[in-house]
Amino acid sequence: MNYKNFQTFTATQKGAILTVDINFGPVNVQGQEMLADLSSLCLRLERDRSIKVVVFESSNAGYWVCHYDTDLLKDLSTEALPRNEVQLLDLQSVLERLSNVPQATIAKIEGFARGGGHEMALALDMRFAARGKAKFMQMEVGMGILPCGGGASRMARQAGLGKALEIILGARDWDADEAEKFGTINKALDADKIGPYVDALAERISKFPAESIAACKRAVYASIDLPIKEALREEAYQLFQATSKTPAVKRFQYANDNGAQFDHENQKNWEQMVIDIQEVN
């Protein structure tokens, strides 16, 4: 798959990992150009099983994605629409599509991620932030609107109701350590450690079957909104989606034939064994 000709970022494939390096203008503003690029990227990722992990980072010092373009916001309608006439906004649609790509997606944040930029990070599967560099904010309430790129919808899923409202209504900056406490990121790391940590995680995930990664994502995301019995049925459904397309059963057969589950050393070293068994096809 060709990952070229983007305006707001470059995309570089190394093995099964695609690194998206955002660098657009002075502050990585999230405007029509970036939305078009993200939509084009999603179209390619949806069709590409050679990519298993996508890491989003920025080489624009001080910025991950600053916020949504105010040039677009100034044209918002001032008329209240009936509920049955409302359609998804462009930002909502693009970020929802990004959230649903079959690959594991990771945000490596070493600068400002505010407004729509923070909402983009929330739409990814995992988020890691550098201490002393990352800053987050949802400023919309102070402007007279609300987070409308999925922020109001995804924030409580990540942080819980009380924290989500503190973040959204407080409209202030918070740093990497606060973000970890809030639950809006997976982990805060020192600036010199975030790169090796994310690289190691991406490399590990990239060794696993693409269809298994996609099935895990679908089951976990479905569990947020479904009652437990329906969520369990979804797990079962996704299990057979995976076994129909991956060598899982062959690997279980191999483990069984070799007495792997009864081996004390294997029981101590499952972390490595799940990597080693990738050779069984």
Q: Which amino acid is at 186?
A: N
Say what the pTM is.
0.93
Share of the chain above pLDDT 90, in %: 77
Nearest 5°: phi and psi at 57? -135, 180
Residue-wise pLDDT for 252-261, tens only, equals 888 788 777 7
On the question of pLDDT at 22 being above 90, the answer is yes
The CA distance from 84 to 171, in Å, is 30
Q: How confident is the model at residue 12 (pLDDT cuts 50, 70, 90)?
A: very high
Q: Percent of the chain beyond pLDDT 70?
A: 100
Q: What is the pLDDT of residues 60-81, one digit of tens each?
A: 999 999 999 988 888 888 888 8
Q: Point out which residues pair with 57 in neighbouring strands.
A: 21
What is the arithmetic mean of pLDDT over 21-36? 97
Distances (CA, A) of 281 to 120, 130, 208, 273: 36, 38, 12, 15
Give the pLDDT band of residue 124 (cuts 50, 70, 90).
very high
Q: Indicate the domain borders of the chain.
A: 9-206, 209-277
pLDDT tens digits, residue range 177-230? 999 999 999 999 999 999 999 999 999 999 999 999 999 999 999 998 889 899
Residue 268 has pLDDT above 80, yes or no: no
176-201 exposure pattern, b = at least 16 Cβ within 10 A, e = fewer: bebbbebebbbbbbeeeebeeebeeb
Q: What is the pLDDT of residue 274?
A: 83
Q: Flag whether pLDDT at 272 surpasses 90.
A: no
Query: What fold characterizes domain 9-206?
Result: 2-enoyl-CoA Hydratase; Chain A, domain 1 (3.90.226)
